[in-house]
Amino acid sequence: MKKVVVFSGSNSSKSINSQVASYTACLLQNNAPSIIDLRDFELPIYSIDIEENEGIPQKAQELYTVFQDAAGFIIASPEHNGNMPAFFKNYIDWLSRIQIKFFEKKPIFLLTVSPGPNGGGSVHDNLLKLIPFLGGNIVVSMKIGNYTETAAADYFTKHTSLFSELAANIITFEKSFL
């Protein structure tokens, strides 16, 4: 089984994106999920001054190693004012200083989850452009809107067509490893 790193671009302890990312990871049949929390890799806000004076932070190096060891990724991102959260962008900034193509052509399942009806459509579109620039191979992507549940299982029990789409996307994602 290959390792799939699963994470959310949110720093909220109650993140709906983290919930959906973890739930999606449980649907993997042929690969081993490794759910990480970016908050465990605490980084300063990227600054060229920090990089020049102190170098790349150790936690950024550790996260880069986690990414190198992965065969693929499941990423869920919230939308803040039409963009990814500054928290998530900061990780991208640091990782790209180590290696601009840090996703290394590995398969990615991109999710955006929002309580709004558009399912994080703006950030979804932005990430569809950005991730390939960073070396990612987006195999499947999905926007999930009107998400107001406290548990992902409850949401997908009520929205069976979305669950079917999610399950089909997992199958497509896993086929990309063959």
Please write the tens of the pLDDT for every residue from 100-143.
Answer: 999 999 999 999 999 999 999 999 999 999 999 999 999 999 99
Q: Give the SS3 label for residue 10.
A: coil
Q: Measure the CA–CA gap between 98 and 26, rounded to whole angstroms.
A: 31
* DSSP category for residue 105: T
pLDDT at residue number 151:
78
38-89: per-residue pLDDT in tens? 999 999 999 999 999 999 999 999 999 999 999 999 999 999 999 999 999 9
Burial of 152 (0-12, 13-18, 19+ CB in 10 A): buried
Task: Check: CB of residue 72 under 8 Å from CB of residue 172.
Answer: no
Query: Could you tell me which CATH class the domain 2-175 is placed in?
Result: alpha beta
Residue ranges per structural domain of the chain:
2-175
pLDDT at residue number 155:
86
